[in-house]
Amino acid sequence: MEINGLQRHYELASGVVRALDGIDINIEKGERIVLLGPSGSGKTTLLNCVAALDSPTGGSYSFDGEDVPRNKSEEMTTFRRKNIGYVFQFFNLLQDLTVLENILLIQELSGSRDKQRALDLLQLVGLEKEVDRFPAEISGGQQQRVAIARSLAKSPKLLLGDELTGNLDSKTSAMVMEVLVKACESEEITTIMVTHDENLSKYATRVIRLDSGKIVSDEKVNQ
C-alpha cells in the first residue's frame, strides 16, 4: 500500500480540524504494523481511510497498484470485501449466530461459503471445540479470537484491528495477539493495528507513531 500526502480535514463551526495532515507511508506485504499515538492523534482516522470506511480529503493512496476508492459507498464496500479483514474492539459478533455461523455468514455475504475453511480457522485460533456456542456463551478473549477467525474467513490481503485488545486483560490480550500473529503468518496477511498499548509493539514488525495528524516516528522492529 502506498500512501502519499494523505489528509483528512473536518470543517467545523469552530474551524478546520486536521485529523490527518499529510501522511506518507509505504507498506510491504507481510508487514505487521502497530499504529501508536495519544487520543486524537489521527490513528483511527488513518485506519478508517485505509479500510475505505472513510474518505480522505486530500492526498493519494493505492493498494496493489490501484487507487483505493473514496466517496462511493458500494465501491468502498467492494474494496473492503475483496481486500480487508477487520477486527473490532468490542468484537461485534452477531449474537444470534453461533461461533461457526458468524464465520459462515461473512463467507456467504462474500459469495463463497466454505465450511471446512471456517472450521480450519477456528482450529487455528484454538476454538475448534466452541463451534456451536453462541458468542454470549464464551469469554471476551474467545470472542475476539472468533472475530479474528471471521476476519480471515475470506482470505483478506490486509487485516486491520482497531484497539482489538482494548477490551481485554493483559493475559488475554497476549493470547489473542499470539493467535493473530500465528494466523497472519500462516495466511501471509499484512496487518495494521491501532492501539494505545505500547506492549503490543512486540508483536509488530513496524511501529508508526502519530501525533496531531502527522507521523512522528516510523521504525522497523523485531525483524
Give, as ranges, the residues between 165 and 204 that touch another protein (CB under 8 A).
Answer: none
Among 70, 82, 157, 182, binds another protein (CB under 8 A): 82
Nearest distance from C-beta of residue 105 to another protein, angstroms? 4
What would the x/- binding string for another protein be over residues 43 to 62, using CB under 8 A? Answer: -----x--x-xx--------
Among 73, 112, 139, 222, binds another protein (CB under 8 A): 73
Nearest distance from C-beta of residue 118 to another protein, angstroms? 10
Strands (E), 130-204: 158-162, 190-195
Tell me: does residue 97 bind another protein (CB under 8 A).
Answer: yes
Tell me: does residue 64 bind another protein (CB under 8 A).
Answer: no
Q: Give Cα separations from 188 to 32, 47, 181 (angstroms).
A: 10, 20, 10
d(CA 216, CA 35): 11
Tell me: does residue 70 bind another protein (CB under 8 A).
Answer: no
Among 74, 116, 171, 223, binds another protein (CB under 8 A): 74
Among 28, 64, 67, 108, binds another protein (CB under 8 A): 108
Is 68 in contact with 52 (CB distance < 8 Å)?
A: yes
d(CA 132, CA 30): 32
Nearest distance from C-beta of residue 101 to another protein, angstroms? 4
Options 10-18, 23-31, 108-116, 202-210: segment touching another protein (CB under 8 A) = 108-116
d(CA 125, CA 223): 24
Nearest distance from C-beta of residue 108 to another protein, angstroms? 5
Strand order in the sheet with 15-26: 15-26, 2-12, 58-63, 66-67
What are the backbone angles phi and psi of residue 208, rounded to the nearest 5°?
Answer: -115, 130
| Chain position carrying cell 469552530 | 14
Q: How many Cβ atoms from other residues are within 10 Å of residue 114's Cβ?
A: 16
